[in-house]
Structure 1
Amino acid sequence: MSELTEQDLVQLVRHFYPAGSFEPADSSTQEAPSYTRTPEHQRWLGAWKRAMEWPRWDSLLQELDLTLDGVGDVTQPYMAACRRCSKSIRRPPENGAQPLTRMVAAVSVLAPLYVSYCVTQSAPPRGGSAGQNLSFEPPQEVESQANTLRRSIERVLGYRPFPLPLSNIRVPDVFVPHLGGEPATLLTALFDAPLDNLP
């Protein structure tokens, strides 16, 4: 598989998302939003249908469950543009807080690309709100497990890492429903925003 260029990825986004501005879905009405009738949205739905019937995804989860012990599917179907799996790792308490690191892999349903990242939460000792940090570089204590995750995705699915330097490249004049009217970038259109919104 040849490298996907910035131009290739922009064209890919335009293939799956309609041009222009549309009203987002309104749960108070029974009427389907107008963007759902576009050929781009129909292609997006087709990509999701194939992703939900994807035997290699099941094979990947089985392998990761054996090698990493406890990897789960955290996909929210049709809510973004990726399937996701995650492993939670509790670390020893620090300053009275119980840190939790979630290693996550998001696999695009629109392109043969994935992105891996870690979400670290620190729960305060006595109530209060938990702080959360997303990083594309895993903490040192989970680096070997993150490498196992990435290698498995590349071997089982044949996918490549998303080129992070292209993350913030804007794709103007496309409507991406899961962004709620926010401007689309390559990362948010091919995966999700925010990436740390996990079940």
Structure 2
Amino acid sequence: MSCDKKAKPAPVEPWVPVAGLPLPGHGAPEPELALEVADWVPPFEAFTSKRLIEIAYQFHPRVEPAADQTPQEFEYLFDNALERIAMRNAQYLAWERIETWRGLVAAVREQAPPGCQVGDLTIPGHDAAYFATFALPKTEGGTKLSSLTVHLSFLVPFYTYYEERSSLVEYATLERWKIDAVDTDISPELQPLLVIVEREIARRYGYRPFDVSISDIALPNLFIEGADVETRPTLMDALFSAYKPNPSADVRANEPLVPDYGAP
């Protein structure tokens, strides 16, 4: 094969987020989202902040433990809530379609700068999004690390990202990675990675970045698995992930630097 011509990327199947599909036991989708998969283009204008909040309440139950309720009773109510059943169905469907996401992670891995560590952190039954991190050592000795973390929702046609800056520290006689800072403004050294990631998302999903100005909208009385019970859950928690890196406490093991649950 000649090297002067670049091969065209293989076409990908249209992909629809869960909020655009009927779910078992959850009724038909709303009219503005009831579109044919083959002709589907994300109707971004339909996903107003009001609509996004409604979707959050579709997939997470309004459950609050009563004073006289045992943990077992609360767990039973949570697991059998219609919204929780809808989320389990959504997670199952997302896992059935995991190969599109794994193809994206593999494509980024192939195009990433030398030394980039790629980890697919998606775990079945967790959160409302696919989850990956792309890390670049910042110093020759490898004691500083910058990573681009990406969450791609399978409920709505949006993705979000942020940068974690970590350093290698001594912790209980072992070397560990400690998060120093988290920022939604991506540093220049990670910008080329972000361009690659966004290009692959556009090609495979047609998604757009989530509007960070509405990400912290509080959702009262919403119970999200994995969210901090001491704080009110947010729209970001509900549509993406309740995981929040904590610079003051989050310490990562040195082996492996970036776990990869989706590795072949």
- Residue 63 (structure 1) aligns with: 107
Count of residues in correspondence between the two structures: 194
Residue 125 of structure 1, CA deviation: 7.7
Write the deviation string for residues 106-161 of structure 1: whole angstroms up to 9, x where unpaired: 11122121101111102248979834211111111111111211221122122211
- Residue 184 (structure 1) aligns with: 233
- Residue 193 (structure 1) aligns with: 242
- Residue 75 (structure 1) aligns with: 122
Q: 1:130 to 1:97 in 2, by over 3 A?
A: farther
Write the deviation string for residues 21-55 of structure 1: whole angstroms up to 9, x where unpaired: 148x96xx7x9532110110011001111111113
Distance in 2 between the 1:134 and 1:180 partners? 18
Distance in 2 between the 1:128 and 1:79 partners? 25
The alignment's TM-score, normalised by the length of structure 1, stands at: 0.84
Residue 72 of structure 1, CA deviation: 2.6
Distance in 2 between the 1:70 and 1:99 partners? 13
Distance in 2 between the 1:115 and 1:148 partners? 14
- Residue 186 (structure 2) aligns with: 138
1:132 aligned counterpart, secondary structure: strand
The answer to whether the Cα contact below 8 Å between 1:123 and 1:131 also exists between their aligned partners in 2 is: no
Distance in 1 between the 2:202 and 2:167 partners? 31
- RMSD after superposition: 2.9
Which of 145, 169, 174 does residue 217 from structure 2 map onto? Answer: 169
Which stretch of structure 1 is more off in the superposition, 120-129 or 37-46?
Answer: 120-129
The answer to whether the Cα contact below 8 Å between 1:116 and 1:150 also exists between their aligned partners in 2 is: no
Distance in 1 between the 2:203 and 2:91 partners? 22
The answer to whether the Cα contact below 8 Å between 2:53 and 2:235 also exists between their aligned partners in 1 is: yes
Bigger Rg, structure 1 or 2 = 2
Distance in 2 between the 1:34 and 1:98 partners? 46
Residue 5 of structure 1, CA deviation: 1.2
Residue 162 of structure 1, CA deviation: 0.9
Residue type at the aligned position of 2:44? S
1:33 aligned counterpart, secondary structure: helix
Residue type at the aligned position of 2:244? L
**Mapped pair 1:9 → 2:52:** yes
Gaps of 5+ in 1: none
Which stretch of structure 1 is more off in the superposition, 128-137 or 162-171?
Answer: 128-137
- Residue 91 (structure 1) aligns with: 138
The answer to whether the Cα contact below 8 Å between 2:92 and 2:125 also exists between their aligned partners in 1 is: no
The answer to whether the Cα contact below 8 Å between 1:22 and 1:35 also exists between their aligned partners in 2 is: no
Residue 76 of structure 1, CA deviation: 3.0
Distance in 1 between the 2:91 and 2:146 partners? 28
The answer to whether the Cα contact below 8 Å between 2:215 and 2:234 also exists between their aligned partners in 1 is: yes
The alignment's TM-score, normalised by the length of structure 2, stands at: 0.65
Residue type at the aligned position of 1:42? I
**Once the two structures are aligned, what percentage of the paired residues are identical?**
23
Distance in 2 between the 1:98 and 1:155 partners? 35
The answer to whether the Cα contact below 8 Å between 1:97 and 1:124 also exists between their aligned partners in 2 is: no
